[in-house]
Homo-oligomer: A and B are copies of this chain.
């Protein structure tokens, strides 16, 4: 999936900021692609970028209308359909993160066909993948893993991409979730791939590369999460990670959506190494990324110091304190070949 940039961000009339989480993620990490936003009366979200009409957005060079919002049930509300059709008529492609396929709405399918525009359903993939082979590929790979879902795995690889590029390193973010696909303009939402092809899809996302190139692969779920561990394991095997960073949220008591308690960071390190060795015998942890949003700065620094000492790894909150320590360790452990 390759989405044409830049984007006109469609926010509809979502009732709160959370419903536009994907759009905020895109605007945070690819501000240069988010030229304007389009909002309907009653919209409670605001990306802080210019409100543009379709005509104005065309003049500004926008190529894709991005529906980076969710609606109850993942459906496309009736009154959004006319807006999507108008965008197709005005020459935009349309990309959506909703569960419903854009092409399943007859008026949208017809307008796309008639005007020769692309429809991208980021939660779905039409690509067919081979099954994973497990054969070592060239180039270097870092994967983020977690003690739970939604602990900052995407933000950590994005921050690493930025930090590594600032040092002149050759590093690419590899998206495996829908927000990530919008942010990179390509990738596959791994959780939407048919089960037999999880590791094959990851091998496809991160193919053979130059010896000094880093693919920074967005992790999903947790090996300890009873709902999603299968996805996490297929992702680990397909990634053949040389290095991994463990992501953690220190104030949670149970894992998201289930009654299970969180594993420790040490358990995640041990199991990731144990299982990851199947496709990369040299896999090793290179850092810890903690989402300290719920802590004040002193408490955050204290948690990070404690974890760093306990595991002998750099520990940081990538959003709050940057990723310098993570990049330092990576460069030290993997010198240029």
Contacts and interface: CB of A to CB of B under 8 A. Distances in A.
B228 A131 contact: yes
Interface in A105-137: 131-135
Nearest to A135: B259
A168 interface: no
Interface in A194-245: 194-196, 198-200, 224, 226-235, 237
A279 B194 CA distance: 23
A257 interface: yes
Contact of A226 (B194, B229, B235, B279): B279
A260 interface: yes
Contacts of A151: none
Contacts of A193: 194-195
A21 to B, nearest CB: 18
A134 B226 contact: yes
Contact of A228 (B196, B224, B231): B196
Residue in A132, A224, A260 whose Cβ sees the most chain B Cβ within 10 Å: A132
Q: What band does the interface of chain A fall in when counting residues whose beta carbon is under 8 Å from B? A: 20 to 34
A229 B234 contact: yes
Contact of A195 (B132, B192, B226): B192
A42 to B, nearest CB: 30
Nearest to A193: B195
A226 B257 contact: no
A190 interface: yes
B259 A134 contact: yes
A235 B259 CA distance: 19
A309 interface: no
A66 to B, nearest CB: 22
Interface of A: 131-135, 190-196, 198-200, 224, 226-235, 237, 257-260, 275, 278-279
26 contacts: A131-B228, A131-B257, A132-B228, A133-B257, A134-B258, A134-B260, A191-B194, A192-B194, A192-B196, A193-B195, A194-B194, A195-B231, A199-B226, A199-B229, A199-B230, A200-B227, A226-B278, A229-B233, A229-B234, A229-B237, A229-B278, A230-B230, A230-B232, A230-B235, A231-B234, A233-B233
